[in-house]
Amino acid sequence: MLNNISTGVISINNKDCISMINPSAQKMLSIKTKKVLGRPFMEVLKEEHIPIAEDIVNRLKEAKGGLAERQITLSLGDKKMTLMTHASLLYDHNNEYMGMVLVFDDLTQLQKMQRMAAWREVARRIAHEVKNPLTPIQLSAQRLRRRYLDKLEEDRDVFDECTRIIIEQVDDMKHLVDEFSAFAKMPSAMPVPDDLNIIIRETVALYKQAHPQVEYLVEIDSGLPQLELDRSQIKRAIVNLLENATTAVEEDGNSLKKITVRTAYNPQLRIASIQVIDTGPGIPRNAKDRLFEPYFSTKKGGTGLGLAIVSRIVTDHNGFIRVRQNHPRGTIFTIELPVRG
Ligand SMILES: Nc1ncnc2c1ncn2[C@@H]1O[C@H](COP(=O)(O)OP(=O)(O)OP(=O)(O)O)[C@@H](O)[C@H]1O
Ligand SMILES: [Mg+2]
C-alpha cells in the first residue's frame, strides 16, 4: 500500500537505522534506497539537514504520546521544498521501543497555488484602485501645458520638462496597470482538440521575421496526437517564452544566438512536451524559486507577468512547466501536457 501513496514514509528501527523508504519518499528527497537502507539515518543525511533531524527527534522525545509535527523547508540541489512532517515513535505490545516512522507531504505545490491566488487578488486591487486616478492626473498635466506653456518665460523649460515627465510616467503606469488587470481577469482556458505543431510553427514564424539576427529552429515530433488546447492561450504562452528567450540571447554578449522549439510525444505516459531552449546567460541562481511568481522580474521595465501567465495557462491545461539549465549554456523551459482519450 505504501508503494502507491503520494505521502512520503520512512521508518527507522530501534537501532536508528533506516528500515524502509517508500517510493514517494525516494522521489521527493531524491534518495537512492540501495545506498541508505540499513544505515544509521544520521549518517546518510546531508550536513545541513542534520539540525532539522535533531530537532524532530528532540521534539519527539519531549512530545506526549510520541507524536511530533513540524513544517520544514529543505534545499535539494537548487530546488527548495516545503514539507509537512509527522513523526511518531513506535512501541510493541510490551512497550518496548521499536523505532520511529516519519511521514511527510510536499506542500510546495500547494504554497505556490496559494501565492498565486494572493497575487491575483493584489493584481485585481491594483488594477482597480490605481487605475482610476491616473487619467485625471494625466489630463490635468496636459491642461496645465496647454494653458501656461506658452505664457511662461524664464521657467518655461522646467515647466515643459516636468509636465512632460508626468504625462509619460503616467502612461507607463497605465500600461502596467492594464497588464495587471489583464492578468487578474484572464479568462479560463477553453480547450478543444487542436494541433500543437501547427500552433508552434505559426508562432515561431512571427519571431523569425522580427529578429533576423537570432537563429530559430523548430524541431517537430510528427507523431504528436491532437491535444485539448485553447489555441490563443497556448500561443500566448509560447510567445511569452519566446519573448524571454529572445531577450536572453539578444542581451547576451555571446555570439551564438540560437533558440530551439521542440515538441515530443511519450506514448507510454501519454504526455506531449514543448521545450523552448535558448543559448542565453541562463537563469540567475537566486531567481529560480520566484520565476513563475507575478511581478518577479530582473528586467528594467519588465512586468514579471510573462511566466506567471504561462504558468497559469499550463495549469489550466492540466499540465506542468519546469525550467532547467541548458548545456553548455542557456535555459530550457519544458511544458508537459496530458493527452486525453
Ligand atoms: N530564457 C530566459 N533566460 C534567462 N532568464 C530568464 C529567461 N526567462 C525568464 N527569465 C528570468 O525570469 C524573469 C521573469 O520572467 P517574466 O517573463 O515573468 O517577466 P519579465 O520577462 O521580466 O517581464 P515581461 O514578461 O513583462 O517582459 C525575467 O526577468 C528573467 O530574469
Ligand atoms: Mg517575459
Atom 31 of ligand 1 has which residue's CA nearest to it? 298
Domain ranges across the chain: 8-106, 111-185, 192-338
| Per-residue model confidence (pLDDT) at position 47 | 82
Q: Do domains 8-106 and 192-338 have the same CATH topology?
A: no
Alpha-carbon distance 155 to 239, whole Å?
47
| Per-residue model confidence (pLDDT) at position 120 | 76
Distance 280 CA to ligand 1 centre (A): 12
Q: Mean pLDDT in the chain?
A: 88
Alpha-carbon distance 143 to 107, whole Å?
54
| Per-residue model confidence (pLDDT) at position 24 | 86
- In degrees and rounded to multiples of 5, residue 306 shows phi and psi of -50, -60
| Per-residue model confidence (pLDDT) at position 248 | 95
Give the number of residues written for the chain. 341
Distance 241 CA to ligand 1 centre (A): 8
Residues with beta carbon < 5 A to ion ligand 2?
Answer: 244, 306
Low-confidence ranges of the chain (pLDDT < 50): none
324 lines ligand 1 (CB under 6 A): no
Nearest alpha-carbon partner for 56 in 108, 102, 10, 90: 102
| Per-residue model confidence (pLDDT) at position 217 | 97
Residue with cell 513523526: 87
307 lines ligand 1 (CB under 6 A): yes
321 lines ligand 1 (CB under 6 A): no
298 lines ligand 1 (CB under 6 A): yes
290 lines ligand 1 (CB under 6 A): no
| Per-residue model confidence (pLDDT) at position 69 | 86
Helix (H) or strand (E) holding 196: helix 196-210
Q: What is the pLDDT of residues 295-312, one digit of tens each?
A: 889 988 788 889 999 998
Note the ligand closest to the C-alpha atom of 245: 1
- In degrees and rounded to multiples of 5, residue 102 shows phi and psi of -115, 125
Q: Give per-residue burial for 38-71: e unless 16+ CB within 10 Å, then b.
A: eeebeeeeeeebeebeeebbeebeeeeeeebeee
Q: What is the pLDDT of residues 188-223, one digit of tens each?
A: 788 999 999 999 999 999 888 889 999 999 999 999
Q: Please, which contacts does 262-270 make with residues 24 or more away whose CB atoms are closer than 8 Å?
A: 262/218, 262/219, 262/220, 262/221, 263/196, 263/197, 263/200, 263/219, 263/220, 263/221, 263/224, 264/221, 264/224, 265/221, 265/223, 265/224, 265/225, 265/339, 267/223, 270/338, 270/339
Note the ligand closest to the C-alpha atom of 305: 1
- In degrees and rounded to multiples of 5, residue 90 shows phi and psi of -110, 135
Residue 88 β-bridge partners: 67, 101
| Per-residue model confidence (pLDDT) at position 2 | 63
299 lines ligand 1 (CB under 6 A): yes
CATH 3.40.50.170 matches 8-106: no
242 lines ligand 1 (CB under 6 A): no
Distance 126 CA to ligand 1 centre (A): 21
Distance 318 CA to ligand 1 centre (A): 23
Alpha-carbon distance 289 to 179, whole Å?
23
76 within 8 A of 29, measured Cβ to Cβ: yes
Neighbour tally for 339: CB within 10 Å: 16
Atom 13 of ligand 1 has which residue's CA nearest to it? 297
Which CATH code is given to the segment(s) 192-338?
3.30.565.10
| Per-residue model confidence (pLDDT) at position 273 | 97
305 lines ligand 1 (CB under 6 A): yes
248 lines ligand 1 (CB under 6 A): yes
